[in-house]
Chain A
Amino acid sequence: MDCVERQDQILLYASNALDEAEAEELRAHLATGCAKCNAALREAKDFAGDLLGSLTPVTPSVGLKHQLMQSVLRDLVTPAKRSTDVERLRMIGYVAAASIGFILGMLIMYSRLTPSQDYQDRMQQLEVALADSRMSNQELQQMLGSSQTKLVSMGSAPDQPGGRALWDQEKRKWHQYIFNLKPPANGRTYELWFIPAGGKPIRAGIFDTDAKGAGVLVADLPADLRDLAVVAITDEPAGGSDQPTTTPFLVAKLQ
């Protein structure tokens, strides 16, 4: 088959409509660096792209961009090492295994050092820590190893919205995890509040939940915030509010 005859084949290849045997043969030819066929492949891919791009656009939900940017910003803070997919999977496996081992070890130590801590709390700590897969191993170890890290629960009824948080008092960080909370309505978002004793609510951040009802928010406690008494979550207009406009539906009392 010469390059002229391959043009139709290239079109089908770019559209994922070529049999694997023919595709393999074509890939072998393209790998030789044939300029004509590689140029044709680029054009064919752009053709396929144009077809896909011709569908009527659908505006994403309001909170989706915010959710994405939270992930991006979190990645900027604790960047993942760039590597091949195979290396990354292997690394994730090693880190996961090491993390699980370390966490279990720390929990066993906790059980000996803090005999008043019950099994349920320790399992919750494990669940919360493992849920935040974006936290680096080192960060996780430091937080769990600190006696100033507290576990905070919100809501307790099964299958009802609930939350758990890791309060890193040393670094003044609040790691909030939400479960069973359906995504906010269009034009709405969820907002977390820090409420000092006798004071007004302070904005901690906004977040959305995914289709599974899970949400994550990592917030810094303001430097001048003392005597944190209550943490609450409300339903607010998109972008959040300066003060709560609805009654909190999840509350944790810390004092």
Chain B
Amino acid sequence: MTIPAANDQMTLDQQDDIRLIQRLAARDSNAMTQLYDRYASRMLAIAIRVLNDRAVAEELLCDVFFEIWQKADRFDSSRGSVSTYLFMLTRSRSIDRKRSSGKMKLTSLEAASFDTPASGYTPASAVVASEQASEIKKAMRVLEPAQRQCIECSFFDGLSHSEIAEKLNKPLGTVKTTIRNGLIRLRDALRPMR
């Protein structure tokens, strides 16, 4: 097993997540139950956002968790938190599924929902997650409409720059610059929070 131990620089939740992954790597099926309870709802939200199809998203969610079960011993906490790993993996697999089915299209902007989430696995962490999401929501609204639109297409819909340029009828160079500037602005707006 190559999973580094939890350390004092991590939050309590992050340390708990690491321990869960360690238990998964040791083939503890109860750990899978706990991981599912903690993260399934947020991972499903990501999958639905990309795939725009609940049934397919649920099928994919099951596959992603099973993949996590099989590859738990390969998780490297030095590369990012467990939650980041789960969310990014869900997004990545969702985009792969979408591409393989040939259904790369813009979803409605109304489908994007940054409302304050309520989930978390302890009351304290739920409050933190809720506050964090609220800040992200505010920061997204500060972006210029074009920046927000391009970031949503790229980040949440999984479209390539060329696909976004085609869909929005904008030059490729403009799309790239818009996404770049939007992400930088978003990061800088959220930096004090982190």
| Residues of A bordering B, CB below 8 Å | 8, 11-12, 15-17, 19, 38, 41-61, 64-65, 67-69, 71-73, 75-76, 79-80, 82, 183, 210-211
Contact = CB atoms under 8 A, between A and B. Distances in A.
Contact of B183 (A12, A45, A57): A12
Given A56-B114, A58-B41, A211-B56, A80 B32 contact: no
A45 B88 contact: yes
B105 to A, nearest CB: 18
A58 B36 contact: no
B167 interface: no
A69 B117 contact: no
Contacts of A41: 79
Looking at chain B's contact residues, is the secondary structure mostly helix, strand, loop, or mixed? helix
B183 to A, nearest CB: 6
Contact of B69 (A16, A43, A56, A75): A75
Contacts of B48: 58
Nearest to A210: B59
Contacts of B40: 60, 64-65
Given A17-B154, A55-B49, A45 B119 contact: no
Interface in B34-65: 36, 40-42, 44-46, 48-49, 54-56, 58-59, 61-62, 65
Given A17-B179, A42-B80, A68-B65, A54 B32 contact: no
A83 to B, nearest CB: 10
A46 B66 contact: no
A56 B115 contact: yes
Contacts, number: 152
A57 B117 contact: yes
B103 interface: no
A55 B114 contact: yes
A68 B61 CA distance: 9
A69 B33 contact: yes
Contacts of B112: 55
A17 B117 contact: no
Nearest to A18: B180
A46 B66 CA distance: 23
A162 B72 CA distance: 36
Contacts of B45: 55-58
Most chain B CB within 10 A, of A49, A56, A67, A76, is at A56
16 contacts: A8-B180, A15-B154, A17-B155, A17-B183, A19-B161, A42-B80, A45-B80, A50-B190, A55-B112, A60-B58, A61-B58, A68-B32, A72-B32, A75-B69, A183-B55, A210-B55
A44 B117 CA distance: 22
B184 A11 contact: yes
Contact of A80 (B58, B70, B90, B115): B70
Nearest to B78: A42
B79 A64 contact: no
Contact of A52 (B55, B88, B137, B187): B88
Contact of A72 (B69, B83, B180): B69
B66 A54 contact: no
B149 interface: no
Interface string B83-126: 11101101100000000000000000000111101110000000
Contacts of B179: 12, 17
Contacts of B32: 68-69, 72
Contacts of B66: 68, 71-72, 75
Contacts of B174: none
A195 B61 CA distance: 35
A15 B133 CA distance: 18
Contact of A57 (B91, B118, B176): B118
Contacts of B42: 52-53, 55, 57
B58 A15 contact: no
B46 A52 contact: yes
Contact of A49 (B41, B54, B81, B119): B81
